[in-house]
Structure 1
Amino acid sequence: MKWKMNDEVDLYDCRMQPWYISAVSCSKEVVILLDTSGSMTGMRFSIARLVAHSLLDTFTSNDFVTVLAFSDTVKTPIPCFQDMLIQATKENVQALKEAIDNVPIEGYGNFTIAFSAAFQLLESYRDGRGREGCESCNQAIMLITDGVPSNLTEVFETYNRFNETGEMQIPVRVFTYLLGKEVTNVREIQWMACLNRGWYTHMQSLEEVREEALRYLNVIARPMVLQGDQHPVVWSHAYADFQDRKVSQWLKEVMGQHMDRENELAYTQAEEDRRFVIGADHESIKTRKVQQFQLMTSVSIPVFDRFGNIRDNTSVSAELLGVAGLDVPLKMFLEKTKPYQIGVNGYAFLVTNNGYILMHPELKPVVQGFPRDNFNSVDLTEIEMVDDDTVEARQPNEDTLKLRNSMVAHEKGSILDIKIKFALDDQRRINVETRDFFYLPVNGTPFTLGLSLPPNYGTFSIDVGEKFRKLEKAGITSANYFHGTNWRVHPDWVYCRYLHDNIKNFTTPEERLMHFFKKKDNEEEKWKWFSDPLLPLDVESGEEDHSCGRRPVPEDYYYCDEDLVLGLLMEAKAINNWFGTDEWVLRDIMNEREPVEHFNITMRFVSTHAGLTRWQYVNAMSGTESRFGDFNNRAIDEDWYKATILLHEESPDSILFNVPFDAGADPDQTVTAFTAVYHQDGGHEVPAAVAGYKFPIHRLQQQLYKITETYASPSCTEKAGSTDLCGCASEDISCYLLDVNGYVVVSDEFNDTGRFFGDVAPDAMVALKKIGAYRQMVLFDYQATCINQTIVSSGAADLFLTPVRWVQGLLSYMAGQFLQVAVNNYMWSPVDAANSFYDDYGEEVSSKEAKDDDEDAARPVYTYTKVESDPCDKIRLLALVNMTSKDEPLVYEDPEPEILSFTTVEPVTEKNVESVTDDEAMQGDEPEKEVQEIEGGVDGEVKYETENVENEDNQEEDEEDLATEEPTEEPFVFRSRSLVAKRVPNTNLILVVVDNLNPEMDPGPERWDADPEVVSYQNESFPCYKLPINDLPRRRLEGCLSSHRLEAEIDKCGRATPSGASLGLGLLVLSLAISLLRVESLLF
């Protein structure tokens, strides 16, 4: 291996990484005592704040921590964290940092009550009262202060000395951080650390903080070093493969440039995750592609100095040499689960010992191309949501809690028949399906593997291996089934790959696959199916050699997933008769021309179970068009594939119609029709593929008009013998084809295409809910991000930017005073000025204001938009159809037909205001007219009459009378236009016909909006509303050691920092130099 070297400054500090910290300190429970008394001002508190921040950065999600700010009282900077330890997730740590920056400095320091509160809190957790199911390991108190006024022996004797087993036990370590140059009672604060298994540090400047804050890790690691035999294997939580600030800032700029270039493209959240989160393609870094980081976990072990005590028999030492580790991309876990064997709508996921998600298809790690701050602390209860009609946020179901607790406990088992609700299409759609959950522990790790499967079609798979082997014997080569360029394979699945992927540079997965197909078809290559790259080369011969990679591996070693590749070849053969070329050549013998011409079909496609996607255009595609497979190449992982299978399970042989969201007024916009293809064998059926067409949406609208033209509406009967205004073409009604989630597929107005029906016809959507056509589903997004934009101005403080500006202002003031004296004495007498002062006062003030305005206008004011993203919870009210094609049509009738009433008022403009003369004003304006609908007319025709409105004086009198009366709010009564809804057989469509004879009505507070809204938790803010997760069960990491009998013989417990020593040495040298000079002056 050749390490890449460069001349840039390396700011990466491995000691701050979670894999290093977890390996040397295991799990910790820590209370940080921050002195906020009156003496902690200026530079001292700046150092204290930085020390607290640096210590918080050394904690991981396996640690629990809190900060107690004390003076004459003790309090937590975040009130909701009172009397508890919180998990040191990144979001909780950030909240503590922000709270520390705002603590007030006041009062005197009462160290007795501060230590008492800290010891009592840790004792409650040690006894198991504070957090159920998680035993304590390392406990510590970290004191940050500028001095201790007195001895605290009594406190430590009371809370930190136990002799229950015959040996003195000190359960809590005490680390002390003394700040400032002029300090007193140093011996007392040293004694605190030395007699409580801790470490003492004296810091005088900001530069010392980072290094000194890390020293406590070696002290906590002493028990592990002293035992010397066991090296605990530690796995970290998920993180991105960059942690250095310089690298992350560069990455953010790269991603920002890409987002600017492609800001007009509407990517779904899943597509955004795929574009910015990758696997192990490190070659992309060289070309500065978009996908610049990957999610990973690390496995690490501590490295001890086992011979330190042998070399020096005079004292006991416990030196930690470092940590050895290995990064494991999460993509490797996904590859091992073989998603193609799990099948559509099934998935595997990993849960940590803390209940957090390590791998899950619903985990959203990216926002705007950059990792979310809390992507590695998403709890299982925040993703798996049971359909239990819960309308309150953060109320997990009992089944979800049972699943989580079993997986956290590293158990093996299953929970069957859980009704799960899940989102599709970037959380715009929702669906419900019964799932079976299976789980088992991953040996040697703190992780538990879960498997979610649909109970019917999810328990079977297609075995095509033997069938294709017969074709191989017939001499058919693999490349024969992959002609043209209109085909794609799943980009995330491993079909074949070289172990050393840099041997061959493949630009696409398809190029890599064809390379191995040619290699396979070449008889001279002596093809072998190497399935697992982690096994030795002679595994087929039965001679396993677990030598941990000591044997050399050939550079051209490759491996292929035999089941996946053979399944792909079998499916390619099956569809080759239809998709053998890039262009769709219509064949009359197959009766293809008639439907193509009738609907003006532009393309057809198929996507198979093994990840193959093929498509054909009726006419040759121009080079400027985007290819279907470039954005639809993930087969069973595509949302439309999942939805099509779900529709088939509800209604076999159905067609799913789909249009883009907010498609707009483009009449040439296309609609996509999907249908599922199943393989049947032995009385069972398994999803094998999804096929479909694309055609213009106006053709579907024309078909709707044609089918409904026999319906006779009032306007239709007026034109006997004509069908132009009959059915859905009539102006008396509005016809909509909605999908199962309430989005408009076909409407009279093309502007409505792809919009939520609640935005198109609000009253009608509420009416559909009331008659049971749609069910309102509550979906919570606990991984949401709220973007806050603030306009910041730099003009108000520009005078204080540099000392030069201040000097310039001083000189201007002095010059002004000199000119004033000169004018008063030589140019204008003060007496004369007094005579005209009052006459010209107004002009003086005006001129002065004008001058000030000119000065302000001349001063440049720079503004910029500050964008901040914060974690938040959001809620959506989504729709799910609640009727089948066998149900009778559902009807909503307005009990009180609307009486059309409105007032016409001429808008006030500059033109009509000027046209009103004084005479007209004296005579008064003509009374306004009110148009009211009256009964009568033939065949539903509406007639109108006009009447004078009361004059303006009477209106004013009425308004005065109403002002004196107390307002009474009448209860809102919902009303809507009449409508009828019917499920279209064998489709995902619902036909809704709305009466247009009455106007659209306001649904008021019952309006149904599907847009996301931020969840309001009343008086609780982030992260307080996430505290219930803090109390859920967790499992302690194995191999944790908190004490060792030889540790008491270690006499090292800290000292002053090197800068303090160098300062003393400098003063000594200076005094010696002065003495020498004096002696020299006396002698000479």
Structure 2
Amino acid sequence: MKSVKRLAESAEDSDLYHEFNATLEFDYYNSMMINTADEDGNYVDLGGEFPLEENEHFNKLPVNTQMSNIQVPTNVYNKDPNILNAIYNTEALNDVFISNFQKDPTLTWQYFGSSTGFFRIYPGIKWTPDSNGVVAFDCRNRNWYIQAATSPKDIIIMVDISGSMKGLKMTIAKHTINTILDTLGENDFVNVIAYTDYVRYVEPCFRGTLVQADLDNREVRPLSASWIPKEANGQGSMCNQAIMLITDGAMEDFESVFEEFNWPERRVRVFTYLIGREMTFAQNTKWIACNNKGYYTHISTLADVQENVMEYLHVLSRPMVINHDHDIIWTEAYMDSVVSLPGQSKGLKKPLNIFTLSHGILLGVVGSDIPLMEVMKLAPRYMLGAHGYAFLINNNGYILAHPDLRPLYKDGKKLKPKPNYNSVDLSEVEWEDTDELLRTAMVKGETGTLSLNIRASVDKGKRPLYLTNEYFYTNIDDTPFSFGMALTKGHGKLMFMGNVSVEEGEVSHNYPQSVFLRTYCETDIDPAHRKYSQLQAAIRYLLGKEPDLECDEVLLSQTLFDAVVTAPLEAYWNTLMLNDRVEPGVETAFLGTRSGLMRVVRYAGVETRVFLTPADKDNLFTIDHFPLWYRLAVENSPGKFYYYPVNDKGFPSYPASVLMLRVSLCFLFLAVGLQMSLDWLEKRFWAIAKQVTAGLTFTQTHILCKSTPHCKLFFIFMLLNSNNKSLLASCCLSQIGRFFGEVDGSIMASLLKMGMFKKVSLFDYQAMCKTGHHHASSARPLLSPKLAITHVSKTHLWTSSAHHKKGLAISGVATLCNVCVCVCVCVCVVSSAHKQKKVDALQPCDTAYPGFMYDPSVREANSLIKCGRFVDIELPVFLNICEHNATVKCNRMKSQKVRRRPESCHAYHPKENAKDCGGAAAISLSLSLFSASLLVSLVTEY
């Protein structure tokens, strides 16, 4: 907070001693022009040489940490006298930017957004325009600027849809509505009313109420809305109240209406927007605005909309400006606008409004970004156990940080932010909290604990887990945020601490196969430390060579202890290899500890085999992440093995090897594993399968599999991994690693029926679904990501005769594995699937899908499953759109959620100059209709 306040003080002091100069000539660094030369090799105007250097602290972007520069939107003249004076006036911010960064190296972007339209950013960067050469970014339109400049708002938008508002006028009116909606945030409330001879709510479901203006609710088609109402302890923001009147003419001024309902306090402001070129009723339209502390604008073209709509924000900022109230605003989470995907950072913005000290006019907004990663470092993941995590929500219950928050989605080959990534409610992630006890307590800012039995999922939702979580939560002072931690039963409450010397740890980790994967020291704060790896930084800190390094001493102590304790195991692995006592199919031995230490031994001849590459982020220890294989091993009983196939090149290539994992006994200290060749595993499996007597010898069966690679007709010998229901061995290579329900839904159904597996219902409220062109509903369809599995399961046609097969004698590697072995005769008739037509772009939706868990207590099958002959026909898969009942939809959308209003509100000041209310204008309106709209706005209980 101190850094932002220093910026505000500097900007206001500079303005106090600055005299406006209409003829000022001043060259500044325009972020789009810098380092750009013309045809003659000379720097272009407002360009010049601006040194840039790649900086890891700023996401490896080329930046200049010694200077800020200026970004100006394309629609703003970059040499306008107001622009030049404001830029010159804020040059003093450069020194404050640098000083702030030196005092607090964890700071990222610092900036000043001017009310004139330019944006000063530190460190300086090269701003890249879009493909058309246009820079559309305007700081004044950004939510952080608007939130800092105004208090929360209740807005009613009234739009004239009479016959005179057709064609271009209606197009302009719709664009005006959208622009107004874009200025609203999650602390604002809104509704839209259309009128001709009668009043009509755009969404009849929300008659007489207001709607929270979060991103989900604003992203709608004008005059066809689907907003979700948010009511709790009184409707709306209960702060600024305004009516936005969009029309092409007002035939009277309705003085009697305002006198009855709004005067003398004039608590409800009225802003009027005259649409079109006609000026016949301009005087009445202006009178309405000027006599109700509003503002009048005339919008004759689409190009006029943006600037004219923004005027209402300056009016709403007046009470705050007159009082000189500096409110630090904490925004929702933002994706960094200047960072390209997929390495896009996510953080909070902390803006603060600033004013002219002499005239009480809004100068702009200063602010700084706080990376959420820095906040979440306060609760290191390694201290919380394999399934434990910390999370952060705001006053509206929206998630700022949570391990299950997925802000990005894949659109083709590109990663993009989801439209609603910063308005995901806690109840949509912690969905087992059906009574919303956790959410309600945290939104209210309470401190306490709560225990819940939950169904979690890992491996991208494919593997369900039953866990018991204990939640701890509290509010964060002077912010609208609440912080929570979840500890899984049996993990995270106790920490095993060892006491070893630095020398012992250094010797014990001194193996080339040792890997340190967590963040032990902050190496990006001081430029001199950025050259060190985490291991180098940790060693230099422990040896006293770099005492200024900021390191996690608890984590370092644990890592040293882990290094000492696990050193003999690595030596044992090497001894086995040297004595040729390793099975030829074993490729890699590895272990991982809670501190993030990994030891890896690659056996001879497999050095080129892929093993947990940096691209495989799910299987690596990170600052906020335990690897998938570690989490899976943790849920097994001590001494029990876990198997799953891994790919060399990733899906959809066939798996090349299998990981075999085992967790340590008693105290959860480490997980050990082997990576085995899939070929070796298959050979062992086929050797066991020779014991089958089913009319064909094993040799004949194996040859038959080899001769029919597309599996038109074959004996399937399947080795089913009971831990994750995926195939480890099969005649068809394309089936290996796939979920068994996809390969054979009928047998999977039999396994479910006999109790070997149980079905678990899972939900995803952050999914992105495709909607067919034929779907005209605005409802969010409940779709299943497992539709293909469902179709496959439903298209198995069983014949009347069943062939009994003898069970396999399980031995060798199959004895070690927790597996089911199934032998079936099947005929696979594959028809070409109907090609789907192109569908609409992905959009947010809610999905329900099944997960399957192995039940180790069931042993009735005794490894024998009866399989019959069947025909598997691959049918065209069509997207199912769930139909919805309008009443059910309306009731669901009206469901109340508790929220906490922002503490500050600046809605009124007696010294406000209401005469500054705009220029000329025009409208056509009914007295009774306008009275109705005022009544809606003035009612205190919505």
- The normalised TM-score by structure 1 is 0.60
Relative distance call for 1:1014 and 1:25 in structure 2 (3 A) is: farther
Per the alignment, residue 1018 of structure 1 pairs with: 884
Question: d(CA) in 2 for partners of 1:435 and 1:363?
Answer: 18
Per the alignment, residue 156 of structure 2 pairs with: 31
Cα deviation, residue 734, structure 1:
5.4
8 Å Cα contact 2:182-2:218 kept in structure 1: yes
Q: Per-residue displacement from partner, 1:544-588 (whole Å, max 9, x unpaired)?
A: xxxxxxxxxxxxx5311111222223222333344479xx63437
Question: d(CA) in 2 for partners of 1:665 and 1:58?
Answer: 44
Per the alignment, residue 672 of structure 1 pairs with: 659
8 Å Cα contact 2:463-2:851 kept in structure 1: yes
Q: Per-residue displacement from partner, 1:678-736 (whole Å, max 9, x unpaired)?
A: 5x6xxxx3x222210011234445555666877x86659xx9xx99999xx9x999554
Relative distance call for 1:700 and 1:1017 in structure 2 (3 A) is: same
1:642 lines up with 2:631 in the alignment: yes
Query: Which moves more between the two structures, 751-760 or 344-353?
Result: 751-760
Counterparts of 1:74-93 in structure 2 under 5 Å?
74-93=199-218
1:774 lines up with 2:767 in the alignment: no
Per the alignment, residue 874 of structure 1 pairs with: 847
Cα deviation, residue 1012, structure 1:
12
Structure in which a larger fraction of residues adopt helix: 1
Cα deviation, residue 227, structure 1:
2.6
Relative distance call for 1:705 and 1:205 in structure 2 (3 A) is: closer
8 Å Cα contact 2:654-2:733 kept in structure 1: yes
Cα deviation, residue 300, structure 1:
1.7
Per the alignment, residue 310 of structure 2 pairs with: 214
Counterparts of 1:288-327 in structure 2 under 5 Å?
291=343, 293-308=344-359, 318-327=360-369
Q: Per-residue displacement from partner, 1:366-404 (whole Å, max 9, x unpaired)?
A: 112111111111111111132xxxxxxxxx611xx1111
Per the alignment, residue 170 of structure 1 pairs with: 266
Relative distance call for 1:344 and 1:98 in structure 2 (3 A) is: farther
Per the alignment, residue 452 of structure 1 pairs with: 486
Cα deviation, residue 1050, structure 1:
4.0
8 Å Cα contact 1:481-1:580 kept in structure 2: no
Question: d(CA) in 2 for partners of 1:89 and 1:81?
Answer: 16
Relative distance call for 1:624 and 1:607 in structure 2 (3 A) is: closer
1:610 lines up with 2:595 in the alignment: yes
Question: d(CA) in 1 for partners of 2:318 and 2:652?
Answer: 70
Of 785, 796, 805, the residue aligned with 2:768 is: 785
Cα deviation, residue 203, structure 1:
2.4
1:53 lines up with 2:178 in the alignment: yes
1:413 lines up with 2:451 in the alignment: no
AA in 2 matched with 1:740 = N
Question: d(CA) in 1 for partners of 2:434 and 2:633?
Answer: 28
SS in 1 for 2:305: helix
Cα deviation, residue 504, structure 1:
4.9
Query: Which moves more between the two structures, 758-767 or 211-220?
Result: 758-767
Per the alignment, residue 426 of structure 1 pairs with: 460
AA in 2 matched with 1:484 = P
Relative distance call for 1:1012 and 1:30 in structure 2 (3 A) is: farther
Cα deviation, residue 642, structure 1:
1.2
Counterparts of 1:4-153 in structure 2 under 5 Å?
4=124, 11-97=136-222, 99=224, 132=234, 136-153=238-255
Relative distance call for 1:1002 and 1:503 in structure 2 (3 A) is: same
Question: d(CA) in 1 for partners of 2:237 and 2:219?
Answer: 26
Relative distance call for 1:1041 and 1:354 in structure 2 (3 A) is: same
Structure whose CA Rg is larger:
1
Q: Per-residue displacement from partner, 1:58-83 (whole Å, max 9, x unpaired)?
A: 11111121222221233244454444
Relative distance call for 1:1012 and 1:433 in structure 2 (3 A) is: farther
Cα deviation, residue 446, structure 1:
0.7
Per the alignment, residue 783 of structure 2 pairs with: none
8 Å Cα contact 2:152-2:237 kept in structure 1: no
SS in 1 for 2:472: strand
Per the alignment, residue 820 of structure 2 pairs with: none
Counterparts of 1:699-710 in structure 2 under 5 Å?
699-701=680-682, 703=684
8 Å Cα contact 1:174-1:197 kept in structure 2: yes
SS in 2 for 1:432: strand
Name the % identity. 28
Per the alignment, residue 495 of structure 1 pairs with: 521
Cα deviation, residue 335, structure 1:
1.4
Question: d(CA) in 2 for partners of 1:437 and 1:133?
Answer: 30
Cα deviation, residue 205, structure 1:
2.8
SS in 1 for 2:604: coil
Task: Note the residue ranges of structure 2 that are not aligned, 5 or more in a row.
Answer: 1-65, 69-123, 130-134, 706-713, 775-836, 922-942
8 Å Cα contact 1:614-1:629 kept in structure 2: no
Question: d(CA) in 2 for partners of 1:660 and 1:209?
Answer: 55
Q: Per-residue displacement from partner, 1:504-551 (whole Å, max 9, x unpaired)?
A: 554xxxx5224324533666x3x43xxxxxxxxxxxxxxxxxxxxxxx
Per the alignment, residue 995 of structure 1 pairs with: 866
Question: d(CA) in 2 for partners of 1:178 and 1:142?
Answer: 11
1:156 lines up with 2:258 in the alignment: yes
Question: d(CA) in 2 for partners of 1:220 and 1:430?
Answer: 50
Question: d(CA) in 2 for partners of 1:563 and 1:6?
Answer: 41
Counterparts of 1:400-799 in structure 2 under 5 Å?
401-416=436-451, 418-464=452-498, 467-468=499-500, 471-472=501-502, 475-476=503-504, 478=506, 481-484=509-512, 487-490=515-518, 493-500=519-526, 502-506=527-531, 511-517=532-538, 519-520=540-541, 525=545, 527-528=546-547, 558-579=549-570, 585-587=574-576, 593-594=580-581, 596-597=582-583, 600-619=585-604, 621-622=606-607, 625=610, 628=613, 631=616, 632-634=619-621, 637-647=626-636, 651-660=637-646, 669-677=656-664, 685=667, 687-701=668-682, 703=684, 736-747=719-730, 749-787=732-770
Question: d(CA) in 1 for partners of 2:310 and 2:715?
Answer: 77
Relative distance call for 1:6 and 1:351 in structure 2 (3 A) is: closer
Counterparts of 1:902-921 in structure 2 under 5 Å?
none
8 Å Cα contact 1:365-1:375 kept in structure 2: yes
Per the alignment, residue 283 of structure 2 pairs with: 187
Question: d(CA) in 1 for partners of 2:840 and 2:126?
Answer: 34
Per the alignment, residue 378 of structure 2 pairs with: 336
8 Å Cα contact 1:133-1:1035 kept in structure 2: no
SS in 1 for 2:397: coil
Relative distance call for 1:55 and 1:604 in structure 2 (3 A) is: same
> What is the number of equivalent residue pairs in this alignment?
714
Cα deviation, residue 1035, structure 1:
0.6
SS in 2 for 1:376: coil
1:346 lines up with 2:471 in the alignment: no
Relative distance call for 1:427 and 1:1028 in structure 2 (3 A) is: farther
Question: d(CA) in 2 for partners of 1:296 and 1:663?
Answer: 31
Q: Per-residue displacement from partner, 1:341-368 (whole Å, max 9, x unpaired)?
A: 1121000001111111110000111112
Relative distance call for 1:665 and 1:205 in structure 2 (3 A) is: closer
Question: d(CA) in 2 for partners of 1:190 and 1:235?
Answer: 36
SS in 2 for 1:781: strand
AA in 2 matched with 1:446 = P
Counterparts of 1:321-400 in structure 2 under 5 Å?
321-368=363-410, 369-386=415-432, 397-398=434-435
8 Å Cα contact 1:420-1:433 kept in structure 2: yes
Counterparts of 1:1045-1056 in structure 2 under 5 Å?
1045-1047=910-912, 1050-1056=914-920
Cα deviation, residue 489, structure 1:
0.8
SS in 2 for 1:587: helix
1:205 lines up with 2:70 in the alignment: no
Relative distance call for 1:1050 and 1:71 in structure 2 (3 A) is: closer
Cα deviation, residue 1002, structure 1:
8.1
- The normalised TM-score by structure 2 is 0.69
SS in 2 for 1:326: strand
Question: d(CA) in 2 for partners of 1:576 and 1:623?
Answer: 25
8 Å Cα contact 2:395-2:443 kept in structure 1: yes
8 Å Cα contact 1:738-1:746 kept in structure 2: no
Relative distance call for 1:1012 and 1:295 in structure 2 (3 A) is: farther
Relative distance call for 1:666 and 1:868 in structure 2 (3 A) is: closer
8 Å Cα contact 1:201-1:1055 kept in structure 2: yes
